[in-house]
Structure 1
Amino acid sequence: MILFIVLGVILLIVSLVLKNNIRPQLQLSKNFRIASFVVIGLGIFSSMFKQIDAGKIGVKSLYGSIQPDILESGLQIVNPFMTVTDMTIQTQNYTMSATHDEGEKQGDDAIRVLSNDGLEVVIDLTVLYKILPSDAPKILKTIGIDYSNKIVRPITRTRIRDNAVYYDAIALYSTKRGEFHQRIVKTIEADFKSRGLILEQLLIRNINLPNSVKATIESKINAEQDAQKMTFVLQKEKQEAERKRVEAQGIADYQRIISSGLTDKQLQYEQIKAQKEIATSNNSKIIFMNGKGNAPVIISDK
Structure 2
Amino acid sequence: MRSKLFLVPLGLILLSSCAVIRPGEAGMKQKLGELENKVTTQGTIWYNPFTTKVVKESIQTNNLELSLNLPTKEGLSVTSEISILYRLEVERVPEILEEIGPNYTGVITSVFRSASADVCSQFFAKDMHSGRRADIELAIQDKMAENLNKQGILIEAVLMKSIQLPRGLSNSIEQKLQAEQDAMRMEFILQQERLEAQRKIIEAEGTRDAQKILSEGLTPAIIKIRSIEAFKELAKSANSKVIITDGKTPYLINSVEKTGLED
Offset of residue 167 of structure 1: 0.4
Residue identity in the other structure for 2:136: F
Is 1:143 aligned to residue 100 of structure 2? Answer: yes
Is 1:218 aligned to residue 171 of structure 2? Answer: no
Is 1:82 aligned to residue 38 of structure 2? Answer: no
Offset of residue 35 of structure 1: 11
**Distance in 2 separating the partners of 1:301 and 1:145:** 117
Which string of whole-angstrom CA distances, capped at 9 and with x for unpartnered residues, describes residues 259-278 of structure 1? 23312342233244456667
Matched with 1:290 is 243
Q: 2:198 aligns with which of 232, 235, 242?
A: 242
**Distance in 1 separating the partners of 2:125 and 2:108:** 25
Which string of whole-angstrom CA distances, capped at 9 and with x for unpartnered residues, describes residues 185-204 of structure 1? 11122333223222223222
Matched with 1:55 is 24
1:292 and 1:182, CA in 2 relative to 1: closer, same or farther beyond 3 A?
same
Which ranges of structure 1 fall in alignment gaps of 5 or more residues? 1-33, 97-109
1:231 and 1:42, CA in 2 relative to 1: closer, same or farther beyond 3 A?
closer
**Distance in 2 separating the partners of 1:111 and 1:277:** 96
Contact 2:85 2:155 in 1 (8 A): yes
Contact 1:286 1:299 in 2 (8 A): no
Residue identity in the other structure for 1:124: E
Residue identity in the other structure for 1:235: Q
Counterparts of 1:270-281 in structure 2, within 5 Å, are 270-274=226-230
Q: Secondary structure at the match of 1:118?
A: coil
Contact 1:129 1:200 in 2 (8 A): yes
**Distance in 2 separating the partners of 1:54 and 1:193:** 23
* TM superposition score normalised by structure 2: 0.81
Moved more, 35-44 or 210-219: 35-44
Q: Secondary structure at the match of 1:69?
A: coil
Matched with 1:177 is 133
Moved more, 67-76 or 39-48: 39-48
Counterparts of 1:98-247 in structure 2, within 5 Å, are 110-148=67-105, 150-247=106-203
Contact 2:24 2:58 in 1 (8 A): yes
Contact 2:244 2:253 in 1 (8 A): no
**Distance in 2 separating the partners of 1:65 and 1:207:** 45
Offset of residue 171 of structure 1: 1.6
**Distance in 2 separating the partners of 1:277 and 1:154:** 104
Is 1:73 aligned to residue 42 of structure 2? Answer: yes
1:234 and 1:54, CA in 2 relative to 1: closer, same or farther beyond 3 A?
closer
Q: Secondary structure at the match of 1:233?
A: helix
Matched with 1:22 is none
Residue identity in the other structure for 2:242: M
1:257 and 1:48, CA in 2 relative to 1: closer, same or farther beyond 3 A?
closer
Which string of whole-angstrom CA distances, capped at 9 and with x for unpartnered residues, describes residues 20-52 of structure 1? xxxxxxxxxxxxxx9999888767655553332
**Distance in 2 separating the partners of 1:205 and 1:279:** 91
Which ranges of structure 2 fall in alignment gaps of 5 or more residues? 258-263
Offset of residue 91 of structure 1: 2.1
1:219 and 1:77, CA in 2 relative to 1: closer, same or farther beyond 3 A?
same
**Distance in 2 separating the partners of 1:230 and 1:301:** 65
1:203 and 1:299, CA in 2 relative to 1: closer, same or farther beyond 3 A?
same
Counterparts of 1:15-54 in structure 2, within 5 Å, are 48-54=17-23
**Distance in 1 separating the partners of 2:46 and 2:170:** 62
Structure with higher RCO (Cα < 8 A, 6+ apart): 2
**Distance in 2 separating the partners of 1:249 and 1:262:** 20
**RMSD, matched Cα:** 3.1
Which string of whole-angstrom CA distances, capped at 9 and with x for unpartnered residues, describes residues 114-170 of structure 1? 10011211121212222212111122222222222x222222232112210000111
Residue identity in the other structure for 1:262: L
* TM superposition score normalised by structure 1: 0.71
